[in-house]
Amino acid sequence: MKPVYLAGRGLACALGLDLNDSLRALQQGNAVASTSSVPGALGGQFPYFAIPFSQRDWDARARDLVQRVAAEAGAQRTRTGTLFIATSSFDIGAVGEGAAQMDYRAFSDKIVAWLEWSGPVYVINTACTSSLNALIAAHALLGAGEECDALVLGVELDNRLTLGGFAALQLLSHSTSKPFGLHRDGLVLGEAVAALRLSTREAAPWKIAGGANVVDGNQPTGASVPAVVNMYQRALSASGLTAAAVDLVKVQASGSPGNDAVEAQGLRAAFDRVPPLVSLKASMGHTMGASGAAEIALLSACLEQAVWPACAGEVDAELGVELAAAAPESVRHVIATILGFGGSHAAAVLERT
């Protein structure tokens, strides 16, 4: 396998419109969630991490954000490479405005035009794990020498379908995001556009060592302990590492009462000594299909700039795991995980070069 480097990254999320803004906001504390409302008896007001960027309509806002984030990642150097668009909601926000039809090809054509992209394009939707699976697929393609450059673009923007669906499933918190928290009561959703530019010919501070996606049919709407363990084992094996070599795990820890407990149990089963853990959900919300790319972009920048996300509230001691209050002294290998709908458990391993 050829080494695959994280050659560029870009991010727009509730913390800011680029990585520098986001790091500055993180240093000052977590982003303040706005609220979003959904109709009906089970509806109401829910906290929501919106990107602080207004535009006249969904398409114009998406275009500007995609172009900004891709430019921040250096996408202009990669336009003949492979583009992986990752999303769980496509442009359903524009459909809701009557400005688009439900048409996958029209959606990808729109983004291709915005980026003036001329290489092959894939649109991956595995719900919350979409951009992590896009990263794993891109890594395999580049590692096999099939391609030299790729851009993984996670796009998850405001729409009624996602918020209404999660509210209907009673998965949303009415208060705040509390990863592994004692009083956790659900997810706080958020928006993000994130880009990870991968290259086999441009060395960079991080490389992608491997990854794994494990779909488990036993819990179609959540995580399962055997699948979490299987995911870590496969990701480590694909990266040629042992569990003892892991210095930091970026967990899902979305604040879901059930899923956080399953994830914690899986961590304890997969690691003899659970490595330091970090969660970014309280900082930027759960950004669904964009979350894998968004959290890797932010975390890798945090580790380089010695910025650390604040832990939100009291951790649930019964889970047997805790979030690191500060960055570990030395971090060479990081596992970034996202657990999602469709029984999907995904993990990517990053190695500091």
Contact residues: other proteins, CB under 8 A: 38-43, 88, 90, 92, 95-96, 102-105, 107-108, 120, 122-127, 133, 136-137, 140-141, 143-144, 146, 160-161, 164-165, 167-169, 212-221, 226-227, 230, 340-344
CA 150 to chain centre: 17
Report the SS3 class of residue 20: helix
Gap between the Cα atoms of 145 and 142, Å rounded: 5
Q: How far is the CB of 256 from other proteins (least distance, A)?
A: 15
Q: With beta carbons less than 8 A apart as the criterion, state whether 342 and 220 touch.
A: yes
Q: How far is the CB of 184 from other proteins (least distance, A)?
A: 21
Residues 6 or more apart whose CB falls under 8 angstroms from that of 10 comprise 18, 19, 68, 69, 70, 71, 72, 73, 75, 193, 194, 195, 297
Q: Name residue 169's amino acid.
A: L
Q: How far is the CB of 133 from other proteins (least distance, A)?
A: 6
Nearer residue to other proteins within complex by CB, 133 or 200: 133
Q: How far is the CB of 226 from other proteins (least distance, A)?
A: 8
Q: How far is the CB of 100 from other proteins (least distance, A)?
A: 12
Nearer residue to other proteins within complex by CB, 216 or 316: 216
Gap between the Cα atoms of 192 and 89, Å rounded: 12
Nearer residue to other proteins within complex by CB, 107 or 180: 107
The single-letter DSSP state of residue 100 is: S
Nearer residue to other proteins within complex by CB, 97 or 304: 97
Nearer residue to other proteins within complex by CB, 123 or 299: 123
